[in-house]
Amino acid sequence: MNNKQKAEILLNTARAYLARGGWIQYDQLSMDRFVRCSPRRSAFAPPEAGMADLPLFLDCSSFIWNCYYQTFDYMLPADLTWHMIDVLPNRVFYYELTHEETPAEQQAICKQVRELLQPGDIVTFERTVHSGHTMLYAGDGQFIHSTQKHGFNGYKYEEMRNILDPEGTIGMDTCERWFTPWDGSDWTKLYLLRNNVKRFSVHRPLDVVGDPTEQAVLRYTKAKDLVCSVTADCKPGQTVPNGKPVVYTVEVRNAGCKDQVAEIDYFATRGIVEDKKGFRVVIVKAGETERITFTLTADTDGPFIEEPQVYINGLRIWAPRILAGPAARSAGSETLPEDLEISTELHRLFFLHDTELADVVSRRPQQPFIDGCVYGLYGGIGVITPQNATGAQIRTTHITRSYLQPGDMILCADDALFTKAYGVLWTGEKLTGCFESGAVASERGGSEADRWIDTLFGRFCFAVLRPSLKSV
């Protein structure tokens, strides 16, 4: 397969992420790995894994990384911009700015880069403040990339606030915004030659990758223009008692201009007692959405309902993993024990490694029936490690009040040793407890509660406990 054919399938994968809209959000925390890291960076995640309750969080570099991985099963050797410039394969252009280039020299640089660009190329630049940006060239003078399109560019660490873009953060851009000499008049445009850019490069990995995977080819052929997702009728992190049915909804949106046939095949095996296999055929008209539902019932002693296998026109569609457990106690029956040592509770969930670079906090083995931890609401850690970076199936990427149940406890720590630990209890109407290390206990409801919950992913470490899951 030649590079032109590879590029078409690669860009189809990139546009599949774009088609998710608000289900793809920017990973604002990924750059601060040694103080507060992101538990949300969605490595290895296909476009179909993004959905309303569990959006994918991708910054610019992890988006490019995922595009190549999902298309070719090829792992780019770096997913941070300033590393990508030096180690990505087949660098075909490299330039370090002196910031003394004349207008004629700037024009010559822009002309040279634009003439050599080919679809599938990666363009990366590093700023003087040790940050940067990377984009995928889509041909016809356009790039596709992940960026915060609204509001300020970056993360307000002092507020620890999420910035969720209702339109999503994958977008198309034009060469004119990038390869045009910067005149200092418009800081909203990310010109490659402006005075805070240190260097930039162009790489052509298509020369070294193999042929596309079967799934990427199906996404480009039989499932092209179909935006598919599977959701369940319970919020992430909410445990379903054994024996209670779970209703799954398969949604297929036709983003193309022609009607399409969608063959939906689903099945489940272990721990399922009804409706465990099915096949449906629906006609999805151009611009419209079709939905089907099926029901699975947990009949297992394990902590999870095995996620169903769902295929649409042969393309595997990610389905959420649902927590299962014994029947919960009555809502609101739990209160914080008077003698609860929050730091001890956190040590029971995490353990500390000493490394040369930083303190690393890792999860202890899961014991849902013993520790009552709502793993679907698991939060941040000190530094990303290979062991905890791939556990997307047991952590969520976004939390709101609607995810919580009365009696849930949210425990937080501001340091790896848990010396600055604190926690709050959700009563069903308010959060009550200590909202910062050393703070006096107080209550927050309504928008104040929402605002505090929105800061959880900016904290060093947090976990949500649901004591009602413990055996009576």
pLDDT in tens, 304-346: 667 789 999 999 998 887 766 665 443 344 444 455 566 666 7
User: Which residue ranges in the chain fall short of pLDDT 50?
Assistant: 31-37, 328-337, 380-393, 469-472
> Which DSSP string do the residues of 158-190 spell out, in sequence order?
TTT-----TT-SEEEEEHHHHSS---SS-TTS-
Q: What pLDDT, on a 0 to 100 scale, did the predictor assign at position 14? A: 98
CA atoms of 208 and 225, how far apart (whole Å)? 28
Are 92 and 137 contacting, i.e. CB atoms less than 8 angstroms apart? no
Question: Which CATH number among 2.130.10.10, 3.40.50.720, 3.90.1720.10, 2.60.40.420 corresponds to the domain 3-207?
Answer: 3.90.1720.10
> Which DSSP string do the residues of 133-148 spell out, in sequence order?
EEEEEEETTEEEEE--
pTM of the model: 0.82
Tokens of 274: 């009804």
CA atoms of 218 and 262, how far apart (whole Å)? 13
Q: What pLDDT, on a 0 to 100 scale, did the predictor assign at position 384? A: 39
Question: Residue ranges per domain, the chain?
Answer: 3-207, 222-324, 342-469
Backbone angles phi, psi at 237, to 5 degrees: 90, -15
Give me the CATH topology for the region 222-324: Immunoglobulin-like (2.60.40)
Q: What pLDDT, on a 0 to 100 scale, did the predictor assign at position 363? A: 65
| CB neighbour class for 465 (10 Å; exposed up to 12, middle 13-18, buried from 19) | buried
Are 131 and 201 contacting, i.e. CB atoms less than 8 angstroms apart? no
Q: What pLDDT, on a 0 to 100 scale, did the predictor assign at position 34? A: 37
Cα radius of gyration rounded to whole Å, the chain: 24
